[in-house]
Amino acid sequence: MKIDKVWAVYFSPVGNTEKIVVSLAKAIGEKLNLPVEKLDYTLPASREGVNFFSKTDLVIWGTPVYAGRIPNKLLPYLQNHFIGNDALDVPIAVFGNRSFDDALIELRNTLEDNGFHTIAGAGLVAQHAFSTVLGVGRPDQADMEKIEDFSKKIVEKIGILKTSSQPIEVKGNNPPEVYYTPKGLDGNPTVFLKAKPKTDMEKCNHCGVCISRCPMGSINKEDPSDIIGICIKCHACVKRCAQNAKYFDDEQFISHKLMLERDFTHRAEPVFFI
Protein backbone atom coordinates (compact mmCIF):
# COMPACT_ATOMS: atom_id res chain seq x y z
CA MET A 1 0.00 0.00 0.00
CA LYS A 2 1.09 3.55 -0.66
CA ILE A 3 2.30 5.41 2.43
CA ASP A 4 3.37 9.07 2.36
CA LYS A 5 3.98 9.83 6.04
CA VAL A 6 4.67 8.04 9.33
CA TRP A 7 3.13 9.45 12.50
CA ALA A 8 4.20 8.97 16.11
CA VAL A 9 1.13 9.61 18.29
CA TYR A 10 1.35 9.20 22.04
CA PHE A 11 0.36 10.07 25.59
CA SER A 12 3.55 10.00 27.64
CA PRO A 13 3.66 11.77 31.03
CA VAL A 14 7.14 10.51 32.04
CA GLY A 15 8.58 10.05 28.53
CA ASN A 16 8.78 6.25 28.28
CA THR A 17 5.96 5.82 25.78
CA GLU A 18 7.32 8.69 23.71
CA LYS A 19 10.74 7.03 23.49
CA ILE A 20 9.28 3.73 22.33
CA VAL A 21 6.78 5.13 19.84
CA VAL A 22 9.14 7.67 18.29
CA SER A 23 11.92 5.07 17.99
CA LEU A 24 9.62 2.67 16.15
CA ALA A 25 8.19 5.39 13.91
CA LYS A 26 11.67 6.67 12.99
CA ALA A 27 12.91 3.16 12.23
CA ILE A 28 9.99 2.64 9.86
CA GLY A 29 10.38 6.12 8.35
CA GLU A 30 14.04 5.48 7.59
CA LYS A 31 13.27 2.18 5.87
CA LEU A 32 10.50 3.73 3.76
CA ASN A 33 12.40 7.01 3.24
CA LEU A 34 9.41 8.91 4.60
CA PRO A 35 9.01 11.89 6.96
CA VAL A 36 7.97 11.24 10.57
CA GLU A 37 5.65 13.64 12.36
CA LYS A 38 4.88 13.64 16.08
CA LEU A 39 1.52 14.21 17.74
CA ASP A 40 1.95 14.37 21.49
CA TYR A 41 -1.38 14.65 23.31
CA THR A 42 0.05 14.47 26.84
CA LEU A 43 -0.67 18.01 27.95
CA PRO A 44 -4.11 19.66 28.17
CA ALA A 45 -3.26 22.35 25.62
CA SER A 46 -2.54 19.66 23.03
CA ARG A 47 -5.97 18.07 23.43
CA GLU A 48 -7.99 20.67 21.57
CA GLY A 49 -9.71 20.22 18.24
CA VAL A 50 -10.08 17.14 16.06
CA ASN A 51 -7.15 15.43 14.34
CA PHE A 52 -7.63 14.06 10.83
CA PHE A 53 -5.46 11.47 9.10
CA SER A 54 -5.47 10.09 5.56
CA LYS A 55 -5.31 6.65 3.93
CA THR A 56 -1.66 7.27 3.00
CA ASP A 57 -0.64 7.71 6.65
CA LEU A 58 0.92 5.06 8.88
CA VAL A 59 0.31 5.87 12.54
CA ILE A 60 2.33 4.37 15.40
CA TRP A 61 0.10 4.98 18.42
CA GLY A 62 1.26 4.48 21.99
CA THR A 63 -0.32 4.69 25.41
CA PRO A 64 0.90 3.70 28.87
CA VAL A 65 -1.11 1.04 30.68
CA TYR A 66 -3.04 2.22 33.74
CA ALA A 67 -4.79 -0.53 35.73
CA GLY A 68 -4.59 -2.80 32.72
CA ARG A 69 -6.38 -0.41 30.36
CA ILE A 70 -6.04 2.85 28.46
CA PRO A 71 -5.91 5.70 31.00
CA ASN A 72 -9.65 6.14 31.56
CA LYS A 73 -9.53 9.94 31.78
CA LEU A 74 -8.06 10.01 28.25
CA LEU A 75 -10.40 7.49 26.64
CA PRO A 76 -13.17 10.00 25.74
CA TYR A 77 -10.57 12.20 24.07
CA LEU A 78 -9.34 9.28 21.96
CA GLN A 79 -12.87 8.33 21.03
CA ASN A 80 -13.94 11.80 19.93
CA HIS A 81 -10.93 13.69 18.59
CA PHE A 82 -9.29 11.44 16.00
CA ILE A 83 -10.57 10.58 12.52
CA GLY A 84 -8.63 7.81 10.77
CA ASN A 85 -9.96 8.06 7.20
CA ASP A 86 -8.57 4.56 6.51
CA ALA A 87 -5.05 5.32 7.78
CA LEU A 88 -2.97 2.30 8.77
CA ASP A 89 -2.21 2.06 12.47
CA VAL A 90 0.01 0.14 14.89
CA PRO A 91 -1.30 0.31 18.49
CA ILE A 92 1.33 0.05 21.24
CA ALA A 93 0.59 -0.57 24.93
CA VAL A 94 3.53 0.32 27.20
CA PHE A 95 3.51 -1.47 30.56
CA GLY A 96 5.66 -1.35 33.66
CA ASN A 97 6.89 -4.95 33.84
CA ARG A 98 3.59 -6.42 35.11
CA SER A 99 1.15 -6.87 32.19
CA PHE A 100 -0.63 -4.92 29.48
CA ASP A 101 -3.85 -6.83 30.28
CA ASP A 102 -6.64 -5.37 28.07
CA ALA A 103 -5.00 -2.04 27.18
CA LEU A 104 -3.80 -3.15 23.77
CA ILE A 105 -7.10 -4.61 22.62
CA GLU A 106 -8.92 -1.55 23.99
CA LEU A 107 -6.62 0.76 22.02
CA ARG A 108 -7.02 -1.40 18.92
CA ASN A 109 -10.81 -1.33 19.18
CA THR A 110 -10.90 2.42 19.74
CA LEU A 111 -8.71 3.06 16.70
CA GLU A 112 -10.75 0.73 14.52
CA ASP A 113 -13.94 2.48 15.62
CA ASN A 114 -12.34 5.79 14.61
CA GLY A 115 -11.64 4.66 11.05
CA PHE A 116 -8.07 3.39 11.38
CA HIS A 117 -6.93 -0.02 10.13
CA THR A 118 -4.66 -1.78 12.63
CA ILE A 119 -2.05 -3.93 10.89
CA ALA A 120 0.24 -4.79 13.81
CA GLY A 121 0.47 -4.21 17.55
CA ALA A 122 2.68 -4.69 20.58
CA GLY A 123 2.87 -4.71 24.34
CA LEU A 124 6.24 -3.15 25.19
CA VAL A 125 8.01 -2.79 28.53
CA ALA A 126 9.23 0.41 30.17
CA GLN A 127 10.27 1.34 33.67
CA HIS A 128 7.20 1.55 35.88
CA ALA A 129 6.13 5.12 36.53
CA PHE A 130 5.61 4.38 40.24
CA SER A 131 9.00 2.82 40.83
CA THR A 132 12.74 3.40 40.61
CA VAL A 133 13.45 -0.33 40.49
CA LEU A 134 10.60 -2.01 38.58
CA GLY A 135 11.64 -2.41 34.96
CA VAL A 136 14.54 -0.04 35.60
CA GLY A 137 16.38 0.91 32.43
CA ARG A 138 13.64 -0.41 30.14
CA PRO A 139 13.42 -0.15 27.24
CA ASP A 140 17.02 -1.35 27.16
CA GLN A 141 19.28 -2.39 24.29
CA ALA A 142 17.62 -5.80 23.97
CA ASP A 143 14.20 -4.14 23.79
CA MET A 144 15.38 -1.68 21.16
CA GLU A 145 16.77 -4.48 19.02
CA LYS A 146 13.37 -6.19 19.11
CA ILE A 147 11.68 -2.91 18.21
CA GLU A 148 14.04 -2.61 15.24
CA ASP A 149 13.14 -6.12 14.10
CA PHE A 150 9.46 -5.27 14.54
CA SER A 151 9.90 -2.21 12.30
CA LYS A 152 11.28 -4.47 9.53
CA LYS A 153 8.28 -6.78 9.76
CA ILE A 154 5.86 -3.84 9.61
CA VAL A 155 7.58 -2.50 6.50
CA GLU A 156 7.44 -5.95 4.92
CA LYS A 157 3.73 -6.24 5.68
CA ILE A 158 2.97 -2.83 4.21
CA GLY A 159 4.80 -3.92 1.06
CA ILE A 160 2.45 -6.84 0.47
CA LEU A 161 -0.82 -5.26 1.63
CA LYS A 162 -3.20 -4.67 -1.26
CA THR A 163 -6.29 -3.69 0.70
CA SER A 164 -7.06 -2.90 4.32
CA SER A 165 -6.90 -6.08 6.35
CA GLN A 166 -8.99 -7.26 9.29
CA PRO A 167 -8.04 -5.78 12.69
CA ILE A 168 -4.80 -7.26 13.99
CA GLU A 169 -5.40 -10.07 16.45
CA VAL A 170 -4.00 -9.20 19.89
CA LYS A 171 -4.28 -10.59 23.42
CA GLY A 172 -7.01 -9.37 25.73
CA ASN A 173 -10.66 -9.65 26.62
CA ASN A 174 -12.89 -8.36 23.85
CA PRO A 175 -14.54 -6.15 24.80
CA PRO A 176 -12.58 -5.16 27.90
CA GLU A 177 -14.88 -5.16 30.91
CA VAL A 178 -12.81 -4.77 34.07
CA TYR A 179 -9.81 -2.85 35.31
CA TYR A 180 -6.89 -4.44 37.12
CA THR A 181 -7.46 -4.36 40.88
CA PRO A 182 -4.36 -3.09 42.69
CA LYS A 183 -3.36 -5.02 45.79
CA GLY A 184 -1.19 -4.29 48.77
CA LEU A 185 1.56 -6.25 50.47
CA ASP A 186 -1.06 -8.24 52.38
CA GLY A 187 -2.74 -9.38 49.16
CA ASN A 188 -5.89 -7.38 49.78
CA PRO A 189 -7.24 -4.79 47.33
CA THR A 190 -6.00 -1.26 47.87
CA VAL A 191 -7.91 1.93 47.13
CA PHE A 192 -5.96 5.11 46.47
CA LEU A 193 -8.07 7.02 43.97
CA LYS A 194 -7.87 10.14 46.13
CA ALA A 195 -4.10 9.92 46.67
CA LYS A 196 -2.31 13.04 45.51
CA PRO A 197 1.36 14.02 45.39
CA LYS A 198 2.79 15.97 48.29
CA THR A 199 5.44 18.68 48.05
CA ASP A 200 8.48 19.18 50.26
CA MET A 201 8.47 22.96 50.30
CA GLU A 202 11.98 23.05 51.72
CA LYS A 203 13.21 21.47 48.48
CA CYS A 204 10.77 23.18 46.09
CA ASN A 205 12.24 26.18 44.26
CA HIS A 206 8.99 27.10 42.49
CA CYS A 207 10.45 26.37 39.05
CA GLY A 208 6.99 25.46 37.72
CA VAL A 209 8.01 22.25 35.95
CA CYS A 210 5.46 20.15 37.82
CA ILE A 211 2.74 22.64 36.96
CA SER A 212 3.58 22.71 33.26
CA ARG A 213 4.01 18.92 32.93
CA CYS A 214 0.85 17.76 34.70
CA PRO A 215 -1.24 16.08 31.97
CA MET A 216 -4.47 16.93 33.79
CA GLY A 217 -3.57 20.56 34.54
CA SER A 218 -4.27 19.79 38.18
CA ILE A 219 -1.53 21.72 40.00
CA ASN A 220 -2.26 25.24 41.20
CA LYS A 221 -0.17 27.71 39.19
CA GLU A 222 0.24 29.90 42.27
CA ASP A 223 1.04 27.08 44.71
CA PRO A 224 2.69 23.83 43.49
CA SER A 225 1.70 22.06 46.70
CA ASP A 226 -2.00 22.55 45.96
CA ILE A 227 -3.60 19.85 43.78
CA ILE A 228 -6.79 21.40 42.49
CA GLY A 229 -7.92 18.71 40.05
CA ILE A 230 -7.79 15.02 39.24
CA CYS A 231 -4.56 13.12 39.85
CA ILE A 232 -4.09 10.05 37.62
CA LYS A 233 -0.91 8.93 39.47
CA CYS A 234 1.15 9.30 36.29
CA HIS A 235 4.13 10.56 38.32
CA ALA A 236 5.04 13.23 35.78
CA CYS A 237 5.47 15.74 38.61
CA VAL A 238 7.54 13.31 40.68
CA LYS A 239 9.82 12.11 37.87
CA ARG A 240 10.36 15.53 36.30
CA CYS A 241 11.11 17.47 39.49
CA ALA A 242 14.85 18.20 39.52
CA GLN A 243 14.68 19.02 43.23
CA ASN A 244 13.02 15.71 44.20
CA ALA A 245 10.38 17.74 45.99
CA LYS A 246 7.35 15.73 44.88
CA TYR A 247 6.35 12.45 46.49
CA PHE A 248 3.40 10.22 47.44
CA ASP A 249 2.86 9.12 51.03
CA ASP A 250 -0.62 7.56 50.86
CA GLU A 251 -0.32 4.29 52.79
CA GLN A 252 -2.40 2.17 50.44
CA PHE A 253 -0.61 3.54 47.40
CA ILE A 254 2.78 2.82 48.96
CA SER A 255 1.67 -0.71 49.88
CA HIS A 256 0.65 -1.33 46.27
CA LYS A 257 3.95 -0.02 44.96
CA LEU A 258 5.88 -2.24 47.33
CA MET A 259 3.79 -5.24 46.28
CA LEU A 260 4.64 -4.61 42.64
CA GLU A 261 8.32 -4.33 43.49
CA ARG A 262 8.14 -7.58 45.46
CA ASP A 263 6.07 -9.71 43.09
CA PHE A 264 7.02 -8.49 39.61
CA THR A 265 10.80 -8.41 39.69
CA HIS A 266 11.05 -10.94 36.83
CA ARG A 267 12.01 -9.56 33.45
CA ALA A 268 8.81 -9.20 31.44
CA GLU A 269 9.33 -9.49 27.70
CA PRO A 270 7.72 -7.47 24.93
CA VAL A 271 4.98 -9.14 22.91
CA PHE A 272 4.48 -8.47 19.21
CA PHE A 273 1.51 -9.12 16.92
CA ILE A 274 1.78 -8.92 13.14
Tell me how far CA of residue 9 lies from CA of 39, 123, 270, in angstroms.
5, 16, 19
Instruction: Give pLDDT, residue 202.
Output: 97
3-state helix vs strand vs coil in the chain, percent to 5: 30, 20, 50
Domains parsed from the chain with CATH numbers? 5-178+266-273 (3.40.50.360), 198-249 (3.30.70.20)
Cβ–Cβ contacts within 10 Å for residue 201, how many?
A: 12
Per-residue pLDDT reduced to its tens digit, 95-136:
999 999 999 999 999 999 999 999 999 999 999 999 999 999
Instruction: Give pLDDT, residue 174.
Output: 97
Instruction: Give pLDDT, residue 225.
Output: 97
Instruction: Give pLDDT, residue 165.
Output: 74
Q: How far apart are CA 58 and CA 80, in angstroms?
A: 20
Instruction: Give pLDDT, residue 244.
Output: 97
Q: How far apart are CA 151 and CA 234, in angstroms?
A: 28
pTM passes above 0.85: yes
Q: How far apart are CA 27 and CA 22, in angstroms?
A: 8
The low-confidence residues of the chain, meaning pLDDT below 50, are none
Q: How far apart are CA 253 and CA 255, in angstroms?
A: 5
